[in-house]
Amino acid sequence: MNFQGIQLTLLDWTGAVPETHPGETGTADWRTFELGEIRVRIVEYSENYFADHWCSRGHVLQVLEGDLTIRLRDSREYRLGAGNGICLPEGAERAHLASSEGGARVLIID
């Protein structure tokens, strides 16, 4: 992530319109701010959400509410609850996918 050139920006999440992304099951509603090369999102995962693709983008992720499971391509899984975070490296060999049984609200920076 490159923070050079980013201006001071207040992130008013109440004004960010959600964009719905369907998963294999469930949905993920994204509220997004684009700041140069940085994307900052609050993502609300529905109950029974399961991603429909492997993601190879790097992320810094913080669970704000609920629980989220991150599965790595090598079969490792990490169950994250409110207050837990994870840094996911970039690259196809490090691809991951997300799921949530009960739903989650997550801050993601990538």
User: What pTM value is reported for the model?
Assistant: 0.93
Q: Cβ(32)–Cβ(9) under 8 Å?
A: no
Count of all residues that appear for the chain in the document: 110
Per-residue tens of pLDDT for the chain, all 110 residues: 777 878 898 999 999 999 999 999 999 999 999 998 899 999 999 999 999 999 999 999 999 999 999 999 999 999 999 999 999 999 988 899 999 999 999 999 99
Quote the pLDDT of residue 38: 92
Question: Residues with Cβ < 8 Å from 20, sequence gap 6 or more?
Answer: 27, 28, 29, 30
Query: What is the residue type of 106?
Result: V
Quote the pLDDT of residue 82: 98
92-96: long-range contacts at Cβ-Cβ below 8 A with a sequence spacing of 24 or more? 92/56, 94/56, 95/54, 95/55, 95/56, 96/54, 96/55, 96/70, 96/71, 96/72
Domain ranges of the chain: 32-109
Which CATH fold topology does 32-109 show? Jelly Rolls (2.60.120)
Tell me the C-alpha distance between 105 and 94, whole Å.
Answer: 23
Tell me the C-alpha distance between 10 and 55, whole Å.
Answer: 28
